[in-house]
A and B are shown apart, each in its own frame.
Chain A
Amino acid sequence: MPTHTFKLNGKQVSVETEGNVRLLWVLRDLLGVTGPKYGCALEVCKSCTSHINGKAFNPCSVQVKDIEPADEITTIEGLPATVGKDLHPMQQAWLDNDVSQCGYCQPGQIMAAVAKVKQAHAEGHEITDADLDELRNICRCGTYSRIREAIKAGAKEM
């Protein structure tokens, strides 16, 4: 079996598996990193949303052979370290707004929110309702209103 190597939450990791295995299963089943959740493996529900080189993506839809050794994968577990704190401002905003209900989607929601805010800031504007409408992450508990409030609050601290 081929060996694959990449940076995961700041550390270089290696894993042996077939090249077509989607990264989500490499993370969850082989490396035991369970923050990214399985919700569909169809790149639809977005509950596995993580970052590759700082951008949001869905590891359920990327083959491990397509990840390069220098690629930096960040899951929810590694998000605080990207700002050198115990919690990323977006995680803190989630706590302040008591966003979560069951919590299954929330790691993906937070990772998507951070990327969305960065995208808006890179384009030179604050996060807008139209930006928020573009987020595709499902929350079946229906916490959408608090997610929107938390993203706006978290964005101010980013």
Chain B
Amino acid sequence: MAEHRRSPDESTTEPADERGRPGRRRVLGYLLAAPTLAVGVSWIAGSADPRAADAAVPSLPQPEEIFDLGDLQNLAAAPTSGLISVQLATDGTAFFAVPRAEVGQGMTTAIAMIVAEELDLPMDKVTVGLADARPELLMNQLTGGSNSMRSMYVPVRTAAAIARQRLVETAGAQWGVSAGKLTTRGGVVRGPGGRTATYGSLTRAAASSQTITVSAELKPRSQFTVLGRPHNRIDAVDIVTGAKTFAMDLQIPNAKPTMVARPPTINGTVVSVGNLAAVRAMPGITDVVAITHGVAIRGETFGQCIDAIQRVEATWGPGTVDDESDATVLAKLRAAQLPMAVPPLLSNTIDAEFVFAFASNSPLEPDCAIADVRPDSAEIWSCLKVPIVAQEDIAKQLGLPIDAVKVHVTQGGGSFGRHLFHDVAAEAAEISQKMGKPVKLSWSRTDNFRQGRTHPMCTSRVRVNYLAGNVLSYEQRHTSVQTDFGHGLGEMITATAADLPVAGNLSFAETIFELTQSSPYNFGVTTQLLNEIPLKFNTGSMRNIYSPNVVCAEELMVDRLAAKMGQDPVRFRRNFLKDQRLLAALNKAAEVGQWGRTMPKGMAQGVAVHAEYRAAVATLVEIDCRPETVNRPIRDGVSGPRVTKALIVVDPGFCINPRGLEAQMIGGLQDAVALALTSSLHIKNGMPLEGSWDNYFYTRQWNTPPDVQVVIMPNTSEHPGGAGELAVAPAFAAIACAYARATGKMPTYFPINHGTLGFEPLPLEPSTPQSPTDGLDHTF
């Protein structure tokens, strides 16, 4: 699909400037009035107006091919008045407060590399912080859609390049030497005769007394020494020594541990509490108050909060989906499936329906927020991917003006979509206001699974018509419990609706579906449509949103088609792929992964491709479905088929950090193993049965492929694509295809073990179970 794309990310040439030089790398920014050198850049400086894209768009491609979710995010950022800035301190270090969340995706490391490259500064002299909520950035403080590097690459380079240029000019003026005779390396300006000046010694003189516009040239790619080379995470030492600080690790005065006793159904409420005084009198407990969705308990330790949860006697009001279970939801989804447009072609039609169970986007770090609400102000600390929306909502909830609410973004212990929402921060604010004291609120593990956001159950129906070696039509009807996009993407769509290449009157969800989904194959008349049912589960985007399900269904159908036409899966894809980048990745995967090698009965290879975020991936896996593997004994866990080998070939456009990119591919693969084989939520009477990691079977060491390889293709673009979510869909699809080939049966319900409940559910009340006491019996 790359050949159809005309977004600014794909542009490689721009008009020459008035001197006839290529204008592409000349960029604009501002010297800011500050005591030391500070350079500000408007968010999408250096990008062309995405709206210019439309003229060159062929009529046939689907919306995602010409304008994807990341382009929407770039477009929404255009009117932003707020600047991002790089600051040079007198100790020679550069500081950049990135308006994004770091949740493990490696964004801060990539940003540090970009600053180091354009400033000619060693990596250890670059500090990257996370910006507080900045309302002036409008919708441009949203971490999601794998958009961070795509949107920040040019602006951050611009700021650093201007800073470098200013330092050179300052040194030149001091020495009476023209700037053209000076060079920079390692944070030092060098001039004729061996003269040197460190950046730190120049930063005061380089500072501007007023804000002025300046331009600079970006470094050509051929001179890169940092970007494109592997670099380890900048916070790696802090992590392995236990020093990295997450929300729960922060020591905010008097913000004592707080937890909530919750009702036994999703979004249930409190009618009355029978023993408030008795719970308040328990050891270590300081405060107990009823809140919207439970009874909040504050104490000296989280353990004593858990003790108190065991004792709460409350009468609970109903939740929002009390009558729903897996079977009722599935029936409603089937009733809402949109009809196919093309009638079946008798014997040359394949119809199939795939079902995907609810899945949890909970990270390992339980949702946590600190809130200190005073009568006229509030301060919040939490991992928030959309801190501006959190700030607005919490201010409204507390009855405070927006600027009276300070929102600090903390490092996140994973996200996978969970931190797009600020549920825990809003609840912490409610509790702090009601108690009149600062609180450190943590949801329990069980809360995270049972009351937290989910990737909703969905079905994908596919009909394919084929004739004489051609595919005439491909229709996919995706039907899902509604996905909540109420975290900012909705506002973005409203603000830019007129500029989006999708038909009007679509819901937010349909718009996002259209901006993220497209078939990479020449399959004739192709339509992929979404319908939703309005059930009030707590939902949200999970890593890669719709793609893992949509692509899994499509790639299974591709294998079916190949079989019907008597073609090998790789050969069939080669024949029908219209995306040259995918084709190249597929060919590389087939070669490196030894496609077609002989496997024992019960084992098989599977292959799948996917392009999104201006990047392309081919995945080749091998799976072992032999009984001795499937039935291998695992204590309190599930075994099942094992992916024994996985190869991911990725074309990222421009690769910023191969090591970080590889990490994201590996992580996406492990998510895919879980989604295909083991992890799901079982809904019964308005509640997920899962309550711990020994119930929700995310990939464990005994499920992980022992042999994992990532191949990064040569750069195909000047610009980085998105990587954080990229691998999930193609890896999920490849595993499903391998399973179908190994067992001879196409799976249609995912994960494949969903039909068997592999654990004894924890009780619904108390909402958080008591901790064990037998830890010393299990030492090793």
Contact, CB under 8 Å: A129 / B706:
yes
For B251, give the chain A residue with the smallest CB separation: A32
Query: Which residue of chain A is the closest to B664 with respect to CB atoms?
Result: A101
A interface list, Cβ under 8 A from B: 1, 17-18, 20-26, 28-30, 32, 34-45, 47, 52, 55-63, 66, 75-77, 80, 87, 91, 94-95, 98, 100-107, 110, 115-116, 119, 129, 132-148
Question: How far, in angstroms, from A104 to B521 measured CA to CA in the complex?
Answer: 40
Q: Which residues of B contact A136 (CB under 8 A)?
A: 637, 700-701
Which chain A positions have C-beta within 8 A of B414?
A: 101-102, 104, 140-141
Evaluate whether A56 and B779 lie within 8 angstroms (CB atoms) in the complex, with A21-B303, A44-B693, A144-B701 already known: yes
Interface-lining segment among B1-9, B140-148, B554-562, B765-773 = B765-773
Please give the distance in Å from A39's CB to the nearest CB on chain B: 5
- A61-B771 in contact (CB<8A): yes
Given contacts A25-B302, A29-B300, A91-B241, contact A52 B776 (CB under 8 A): yes
Q: 23 A-B residue contacts at CB 8 Å?
A: A28-B248, A32-B251, A37-B413, A38-B248, A39-B445, A39-B693, A43-B778, A44-B693, A45-B692, A61-B773, A66-B773, A76-B240, A80-B241, A98-B659, A100-B104, A100-B233, A100-B236, A101-B667, A102-B412, A103-B413, A135-B701, A144-B666, A144-B701
Contact A26 B301 (CB under 8 A): yes
Query: Quick one: closest B residue to A45, CB to CB?
Result: B693
The CA-CA distance from A101 to B666 in the complex, in Å, is 11
Chain A residue nearest to B383 (CB atoms) is A102
A58 to B704 CA separation, bound complex (whole angstroms): 23
Contacts of A29 in B (CB 8 A): 257, 300-303
With A and B bound together, what is the CA distance between A129 and B303 in angstroms? 36
Please pick, from A28, A44, A101, A110, the residue contacting B692 in the complex, using a CB distance under 8 A: A44
Classify chain B's interface size: 35 or more
Distance A137 CA – B776 CA, assembled complex (angstroms): 17
Nearest chain B residue, comparing its CB with the CB of A19:
B283
A residues near B659, Cβ cutoff 8 Å: 98
B366 an interface residue at 8 Å Cβ cutoff?
Answer: yes
Interchain CA distance A51-B771 in the complex, whole Å: 19
Check if B769 sits within 8 Å of A102, measured CB to CB.
no
- Tell me what chain B mostly uses at the interface: helix, strand, loop, or mixed: loop
Residue from B412, B698, B775 within 8 A of A62 (CB atoms): B775
Asked if residues B240 and A56 are in contact (CB atoms below 8 Å), the reply is: no
Picked from B239, B248, B283, the residue with its CB within 8 Å of the CB of A100 is: B239
The answer to the question of B618 belonging to the interface, with a C-beta cut-off of 8 Å to chain A, is no
Judge whether A146 and B666 touch: CB under 8 Å. Answer: yes
Across the A-B interface, the 4 shortest Cβ-Cβ residue pairs = A35-B242, A142-B670, A102-B104, A104-B413
Determine whether the beta carbon of A43 is less than 8 Å from that of B445. Answer: no
Chain A residues whose C-beta falls within 8 Å of the C-beta of B364 in the assembled complex: 37, 39, 45, 47, 102, 104-105, 138-141
Interface core residue of B242, B700, B771 (most chain A CB under 10 Å) = B242
User: Which residue of chain B is the closest to A80 with respect to CB atoms?
Assistant: B241
Interface contact A95-B236, CB-CB below 8 Å? yes
Supplied contacts A58-B775, A137-B701, A140-B414, 9 more A-B pairs, CB within 8 Å: A29-B303, A37-B248, A39-B364, A57-B779, A95-B236, A102-B103, A110-B240, A136-B637, A140-B698
Inter-chain CA distance A138–B412, complex, in Å, is: 16
Tell me, rounded to whole Å, the shortest Cβ–Cβ distance linking B543 to chain A. Answer: 10
C-alpha gap A42/B771 in the complex (Å): 5
Please state if B700 and A145 are interface contacts (CB–CB under 8 Å). no
Q: Tell me the bound Cα distance from A121 to B378 in angstroms.
A: 54
CA distance A141 to B304 in the complex (A): 30
Residues in A with CB closer than 8 Å to B240 are: 76, 87, 91, 94-95, 100, 106-107, 110
Complex contact A104–B242 (CB within 8 A): no
Could you tell me which residues of chain B, from 96 to 122, have a CB within 8 Å of some CB in chain A? 103-106
Q: Report A41 CB to chain B, min CB distance, Å.
A: 5
Let me know if B680 is at the binding interface, CB within 8 A: no
Please determine whether A77 and B300 come into contact, CB atoms closer than 8 angstroms: no
| Alpha-carbon gap, A137 to B245, bound state (A) | 20
B606 proximal to A (CB < 8 A): no
Pick the contact of B704: A40, A66, A106, A145 (CB < 8 A).
Answer: A145
Decide if B511 is an interface residue (CB 8 Å cutoff): no
Distance in angstroms from B599 CB to nearest chain A CB is 20
Inter-chain contacts of A25 with B (CB < 8 A): 257, 301-304
- B669 on the A face (CB < 8 A): yes
Q: B706 and A119: CB pair below 8 A?
A: no
Task: Produce 1/0 per residue, B240-253, CB < 8 A to A.
Answer: 11111110110100
Closest to A62 in B: B775
Chain B, range 609-664, C-beta contacts under 8 Å to A: 636-637, 659, 663
Partner of A39, one of B242, B365, B636, B706: B365
User: B239–A103 contact, CB under 8 A?
Assistant: yes
> What is the CB-to-nearest-CB distance from B692 to chain A, in angstroms, rounded to a whole number?
5
B302 touches A66 (CB 8 A): no
Query: A57-B779, A102-B412, A134-B701 known; A21 and B772 CB under 8 Å?
Result: no
* Closest-CB distance, A47 to chain B (whole angstroms): 6
**Contact indicator B693/A103 (Cβ below 8 Å):** no
Contact B775 A43 (CB under 8 A): yes
CA–CA, A132 to B668, complex, Å?
Answer: 21
Residue from B104, B302, B671, B776 within 8 A of A38 (CB atoms): B302
Q: How far is the CA of A110 from the CA of B303 in the complex (A)?
A: 24
How far apart are the CA atoms of A142 and B33 in the complex, in Å? 45
Decide: B307 and A20 in contact? CB cutoff 8 A.
yes
- Of A24, A101, A105, which is in contact with the most chain B CB atoms at under 10 Å from its CB? A101
B663–A63 touching, CB < 8 Å: no
Which chain B residues lie closer than 8 Å to A42 at the CB level? 445, 692, 694, 769, 771-772
CB nearest to A24 among chain B residues: B303
Answer yes or no: B50 CB below 8 A from chain A CBs. no
Are A142 and B775 in contact, CB atoms less than 8 angstroms apart? no
Q: Which residue of B lies closest to A115 (CB)?
A: B780
Which B residues lie within 8 Å of A137 (CB)?
Answer: 701
Would you give the shortest CB distance from B284 to chain A, in whole angstroms? 7
Closest-CB distance, A1 to chain B (whole angstroms)? 8
The residue that A103 contacts in the complex, of B235, B307, B773, with Cβ under 8 A, is: B235
Which chain B residues border A101 with CB–CB below 8 Å?
A: 104-106, 233, 414, 663, 667
Residues of chain A with a CB closer than 8 A to B62's CB? none
Given contacts A56-B779, A57-B776, contact A34 B245 (CB under 8 A): yes
A52 to B257, CA, bound (A): 25
Distance of A146 Cα from B663 Cα, bound (Å): 9
CB B279 to nearest CB in A, in angstroms, measures: 15
Q: Which residues of A contact B442 (CB under 8 A)?
A: 38
Closest chain B CB from A68 CB (angstroms): 10
Of all chain B residues, the one with the shortest Cβ separation from A35 is B242
Known A29-B302, A103-B235; contact A141-B775, beta-carbon cutoff 8 A: no
Shortest CB-to-CB span from A132 to chain B, Å, is 6
Name which residue of chain A comes closest to B694, CB basis. A44
Q: Which residue in chain B gives the minimum CB-CB distance to A75? A: B242
Q: Determine the distance from Cα of A39 to Cα of B246 in the docked complex, in whole angstroms.
A: 12
Q: Which residue of B lies closest to A118 (CB)?
A: B780
CB-CB contacts below 8 Å: B655-700 with A: 659, 663, 666-671, 692-694, 698-700
Interface string of B289-306 (1 = CB under 8 A from A): 000000000001111101
A76 CA / B303 CA spacing, docked (Å): 21
B780 in complex: contacting residue of A24, A32, A119, A129, CB < 8 Å = A119
Encode contact with A along B697-725: 1 for CB under 8 Å, 0 otherwise.
01111101110100000000000000000
Interface string of B444-471 (1 = CB under 8 A from A): 1100000000000000000000000000
Q: Is the CB of B246 within 8 A of A104?
A: yes
Say yes or no for B750: interface residue by CB 8 A criterion: no
Residues of A within 8 A of B636 (CB): 44
Residues of B within 8 A of A143 (CB): 663, 666-667, 670
Q: Which residue of B lies closest to A52 (CB)?
A: B779
Interface positions, chain B 22-52, Cβ under 8 Å from A, are: none
What string of 1s and 0s marks CB contacts (under 8 Å) between B390-423 and chain A? 0000000000000000000001111010000000
> How distant is the Cα of A26 from the Cα of B751 in the complex, in angstroms?
39
For B637, the closest partner residue in chain A by CB is A136
Q: Contact partner of B237 among A95, A107, A132, CB < 8 A? A: A95
